[in-house]
Amino acid sequence: MISQSSNEFGEIRIDNEVVARVAGLAAMECYGIVGMAAKNVKDGIAQLLKRESLTKGIQLSTNSNNTVNIDLHIIVEYGTNIAAITETLISTIIYKVKEFIGIDVEKVNIYVVGVRVDV
């Protein structure tokens, strides 16, 4: 569980799955991102995950100061500038997670595990 807070009305608990889904949907909105890849890439073959399985390409870790680190395993489109894509991706994820959930993101690590070439 990433975040837990309470007020006079009750408790609010935000699960890791929620943060991962927000990060995954934010990633899919960015130009040049084809999709997410499974975290455990074997034999150098990256498997493109379906939209329902976005969170399988995302790994979260929480810090003691109530912030989160996000690792994304992505597949990019051939011919795009990977540095520009990842820069945009990092800023988008930090903004969306903070805006929607209210949790600060300390670090976003991007792992480009594949390039899709359209023929």
For residue range 49-99, what is the model confidence (pLDDT) as tens digits? 565 567 788 899 988 788 899 999 998 999 999 999 999 999 999 999 999
Share of residues in the chain with pLDDT > 90 (%): 39
Structural domain of 80 = 3-116
Q: Where do runs of H (alpha helix) occur along the chain?
A: 16-29, 82-101
Rounded to two decimals, what is the model's pTM? 0.80
Q: Please state, in angstroms and rounded to a whole number, the distance separating the CA atoms of residues 57 and 102.
A: 22
Q: Find the CATH number of the domain harbouring 37.
A: 3.30.70.1350
In total, how many domains does the chain have? Answer: 1
